[in-house]
Amino acid sequence: MNERLALAHQYAEDGELDKASELCSQLANENPHDPKMLAVAAYIYMKAERFGFAYALLEKASRGMPRSELLNNLGMCALGCMRLDDAEKHLTDALKLDPKNAAAMNNLALVYVNKCEPERAIKWASKSRQLQGDDPALMETYGYAQLLLGNWAEGWKGFEGGLQGKIRRPRQYQSEPYWDGSKVKTLVVRGEQGIGDEISFASVIMDAKQRAENVIIECDSRLEGLFRRSFDVPVYGTRFKPGIPWADQYQIDAHVLSGSLCQYFRNDLSAFPGKPYLKADPEQKIQWRALLDSLGHKPKIGIAWTGGRHNTHRNRRSLKLLDLLPILKQDATFISLEYKNPAAEIVELYDKHGIEVRHWPRASEAVNYDDCAALVDELDLIISVQTAVVHLAGALGKPCFVMVPSKPRWAYGLHGDKMPWYESVKVYRQKGEWAGVINQISEDIRTRIQPT
């Protein structure tokens, strides 16, 4: 059985998950309680990123095999499920059994980044580096911790460890190397991560022209029109498409992800200009202006109250529309900027309080961000949780109040009421319950719209 378990583990290691699962299933039929088999089955689920199943199997296996490696895997599964306290406990227990378990140190550092405790993350990352050097995944974790603290140069250095991970994905277009910051003739800059990240990192693209004679942008198709209008360089919305026929038109000397530009051009706070850099479509702006004017003369305020996914802490950064009632009672017209259909919440708000929130799917749910950008550019103010519309508003130079949880994403930092990226964005940080932030914004709106 041990040989077949080893083979199942190897299949999983090689990414042949169907073969691994079939073999492990046979072994489970023979002895469903064998802790070694359960551990291998859990590893297969971990490789498939089905962390809940893996967690359940490992929890049972750990009762028969209280080993450091197994507890480390249990901690990883808990982290994958965003059960951060459980992950911290399992990883701490793993290190009690084996104080030199570098993998457990790496994962504990990542837990602390997710818990928004950067100093503790740096502590464990540093311990691991002493044992095993600069492992790329560890360096990425270390980088995010430094960025949370506003240590930009050290943060970007660590951030580059993500180039060997699953989220930051470079693409080679011909046979050119990844850019090292040296002078080149033609450089392709590719967008990365979510659409908010792509918008924020776009603020650095034109800095690359200091060292590249020609810059080409590859971006999400939703941003192609907006970026083409805003940057005087070729733009192609093929980031998620398998084919890149346009590449044959150029002799490309290097390629780079947009976030990698920061290590060359954003190494201290003074290097962030904070100025607007995107331009909305003038014709679409006229159309939205006419529609907004038809709603009366009250200020037009855009609102977004949900953001993120389960693994990016949606529960931390999202609210319900009814939570915003003190804001929505102000003497203004409110426009939904939700990227998913919020009809049920809008109807509930109207039925309970008689407050109408407008929602136009062709803008906020659009596959083309031009419509959304044009609408945002015609609004008087944006109020949002951490989501892509904050970056869009800041990049357009529109006034924006962003509600930031006590444990924010790295781009929002831990202190102050400003984001380095955008001078038009004001940060309202959660301290205790959200009510304090919501009431403060409500008061600031009231002051803002009072006649002088």
| Annotated domain spans of the chain | 2-162, 184-271, 282-449
| DSSP bridge partners of 301 | 334, 381
CA distance 78 to 88: 9
pLDDT at 52: 83
pLDDT at 236: 97
For 123-162, the DSSP string reads HHHHHHHHHH---HHHHHHHHHHHHHTT-HHHHHHHHGGG
Q: What is the pTM of this model?
A: 0.88
Q: What angle do CA 92, 97, 103 make, to 5 degrees?
A: 60
Domain 184-271 matches domain 282-449 at the CATH topology level = yes
Integer-rounded Cα Rg, in Å, for the chain is 24
Nearest C-alpha neighbor of 316 from the set 394, 387, 417, 400:
387
pLDDT at 81: 87
Instruction: For residue 383, count other CB atoms closer than 10 A to its CB.
Output: 30
CA distance 13 to 44: 8
Query: Which class is 184-271 in CATH?
Result: alpha beta
Give pLDDT tens digits along the chain (452 positions): 578 888 878 878 888 888 888 888 887 788 888 888 888 888 888 788 888 888 888 888 777 666 888 889 889 899 988 899 999 999 999 999 999 999 999 999 999 999 999 999 999 999 999 988 888 888 999 999 999 999 999 999 999 988 877 788 899 999 999 999 999 999 999 999 999 999 999 999 999 999 999 999 999 999 999 999 999 999 999 999 988 999 999 999 999 999 999 999 999 999 999 999 999 999 999 999 999 999 999 999 999 999 866 656 667 778 999 999 999 999 999 999 998 899 999 999 999 999 999 999 988 887 789 999 999 999 999 999 999 999 999 999 999 999 999 888 899 988 888 999 999 999 999 998 899 999 999 999 999 887 65
pLDDT at 4: 81
What is 282-449's CATH number, 3.30.300.30, 3.40.640.10, 3.40.50.300, 3.40.50.2000? 3.40.50.2000
Nearest C-alpha neighbor of 97 from the set 133, 63, 132, 71:
71
Tokens of residue 64, six digits? 């028969």
DSSP state for residue 419 in the 8-state scheme: E
Residue 435 CA: distances (Å) to CA of 152, 327, 405, 418: 32, 11, 12, 20
Is the distance from CB of 146 to CB of 129 less than 8 angstroms?
no
CA distance 110 to 341: 33
For 345-358, the DSSP string reads HHHHHHHHH---EE
DSSP state for residue 268 in the 8-state scheme: S
Q: Residues 2-162: name the CATH superfamily.
A: Tetratricopeptide repeat domain (1.25.40.10)
Residue 322 CA: distances (Å) to CA of 259, 262, 265: 36, 39, 42
Is the distance from CB of 208 to CB of 181 less than 8 angstroms?
no
pLDDT at 452: 52
pLDDT at 265: 97
CA distance 318 to 308: 8
DSSP state for residue 117 in the 8-state scheme: -
pLDDT at 101: 93
What residues contact 433, with CB distance under 8 A and at least 6 apart? none
pLDDT at 216: 98
**Residue indicated by tokens 């959304």:** 372
CA distance 65 to 36: 8
pLDDT at 39: 84
Q: Tell me the one-letter amino acid at 225.
A: G
pLDDT at 199: 97
CA distance 251 to 65: 57
CA distance 73 to 58: 8
pLDDT at 47: 82
